[in-house]
Amino acid sequence: MHKFNVKPIELTDNLYKIFVDTGYVPERIIRLLAFKIIKTETLTQEEMAVFIEYTSEIEDAIKVLTKEN
């Protein structure tokens, strides 16, 4: 059996700092927030700040993700 050292996808402090400084977040964070919203999980304050800025992109991801399932 192979063991993979895979970190969970999360909005790290470093990624949040980049977002604050530049307004940029990677696509994987958009998908993460879409999944959390689909599963009705509570967003952190940092995630909520990204959600406010990227609402339309996250809504688009939700549409795509819910069509796939």
**Which pTM value belongs to this model?**
0.84
How confident is the model over 7-31, as a mean pLDDT? 93
Structure-token pair, residue 42: 């509570």
pLDDT at 12 exceeding the cut of 80: yes
| pLDDT score at 63 | 95
| pLDDT score at 17 | 97
pLDDT at 8 exceeding the cut of 80: no
| For the chain, domain boundaries | 26-68
Angle between the N-to-C axes of helices 55-68 and 45-53, in degrees from 0 to 180, rounded to the nearest 10: 90
Interval 39-60: pLDDT, tens: 999 999 999 999 999 999 999 9
